[in-house]
Amino acid sequence: MTVAYLAAAGYRRPLQEELERAGLGPALRWFDERLVLCDAPAVDAAWAVNTWFDVEELAVRSIADAAAQLRDRQRSWCAYPPGVGGRAALISARLPHVSGRALQLGEPAPASPLGSWTLATPQRLLAAVSRGAVTELGLEPGRAVYALVKTVSIDAPAGGRMLLDP
């Protein structure tokens, strides 16, 4: 099983160190500065903003073929477009629109899964139907934790903050 971990921008080193401490060092293959592929079982990686499970490598003949292969697997996709970004944009344009609307606190997440994909070369696509995001906030991991704590806390008397305890 191939797993991919996407590091937050500028956080490659912490992700690499975390995965090496988990014993995955020899299995790591860096795709680019942020995305690393690993042929080992998935681990919880705090420094990964997105983890792709069961990554498939697809041979594609054209932009239309790439979009068709993705649509055959499921409806909703999110592209990671570095390298072959123009071609990735053309493929994305042929996929169903996915709303990027932020959810309100307590609002249920959409029921349909959101897969991830990227182009390794113009003829080779990496895709994962199943993924798990540490944060969908678009923030580096430390800022995501801060945003979460701020969301579940209230102003306490004397100007401090107090965590809510359900």
Identify whether residues 158 and 77 lie together within a single domain.
Answer: no
- CATH number of the domain within which 130 lies: 3.30.2130
The predicted model gives 64-80 an average pLDDT of 93
Identify whether residues 48 and 28 lie together within a single domain.
Answer: yes
Identify whether residues 38 and 116 lie together within a single domain.
Answer: yes
Identify whether residues 37 and 99 lie together within a single domain.
Answer: yes
Identify whether residues 66 and 148 lie together within a single domain.
Answer: no
Identify whether residues 113 and 99 lie together within a single domain.
Answer: yes
Domain that holds residue 91: 3-134
Task: Specify the pLDDT at position 140.
Answer: 47
- Rounded CA-CA distance 2/52 in Å is 9
What confidence tens digit (pLDDT) does each residue in 78-126 have?
Answer: 898 776 778 999 999 999 988 777 778 878 877 777 899 999 889 999 9
Identify whether residues 81 and 145 lie together within a single domain.
Answer: no
Identify whether residues 63 and 99 lie together within a single domain.
Answer: yes
The predicted model gives 130-135 an average pLDDT of 59
Overall domain count for the chain: 2
CA 7 to mean position of chain CA atoms: 8
Identify whether residues 127 and 101 lie together within a single domain.
Answer: yes
